[in-house]
Amino acid sequence: MDYQEIEKIVKQRLSQKRYEHSKGVAKRAEELAIIYGEDEQIAKKIGILHDIAKEMSKQEGFHYAKEHGIQFDEIEQKEVGLWHSKLGEDIAIKQFGFTKEMARAILYHTTGNIKMNTMEKIIYVADKTDETRTMINREEAVQISNNNLDDGVLYIAKFMMEYSLKKDSLIHPDTVLLVNQLIEQKRNNKPYKSYNNIIEN
């Protein structure tokens, strides 16, 4: 299925606001794919489809998950807003012919994951930095992610953790593990003073 066909279906299924966001994510994903040497057409397709299950009601999502054997972990069961990632992954494969590799970027776009490849990181970043986003400092996030993709992922993941805490939402372990991994990665790539060295100096 080509991009135009996917976009047409997305427009039919989602609200205007969510559709505009999805178009923005597709555009931003294309930009990042060009910067980081990934297939921009694939990035656009994933971007436009990433929220295909976002506006399913709790009842619809529950029945779809039960029918298709999708299981939610302990945190996901308590945070319905996380359901659309797993539902969207399944829909992308079964209804739109996405490969498992393409659909995995939809699975990871909300919580992130320590196993994310470049395309998956692109979709994660694009979802939070498209032109419709207002909750994050978009200009700073775009600048950081355009210069270094991992730094962009870390910036966004830290922001999303803080944002969730302010709303008293549960934080998925995948996000915590991702932040820890990227912080440790930065430490290993740069001179790092241990706690003892700081005290001694």
Q: Which of 108-112, 133-137, 188-192 ranks highest by mean pLDDT?
A: 108-112
**pLDDT at position 200:** 44
Domains and CATH numbers, the chain: 3-190 (1.10.3210.10)
Structure tokens at 82: 């996380």
Residue-wise pLDDT for 142-190, tens only, equals 999 999 999 999 999 999 999 999 999 999 999 999 999 999 998 888 6
Residue-wise pLDDT for 6-27, tens only, equals 999 999 999 999 999 999 999 9
Q: What are phi and psi of 184, to 5 degrees?
A: -65, -40
In the predicted model, is pLDDT for residue 192 greater than 90?
no
Interval 89-95 mean pLDDT? 98
**pLDDT at position 189:** 81
**pLDDT at position 199:** 42
Q: Taking every pair of C-alpha atoms in the chain, what is the biggest distance, in angstroms?
A: 63
Mean pLDDT for all residues in the chain: 93
Contacts of residue 25, defined as CB under 8 A and 6 or more positions apart, other chains included, come to 47, 48, 50, 51, 123, 126, 127, 130
Claim: this prediction has a pTM higher than 0.85: yes
Structure tokens at 106: 């939809």
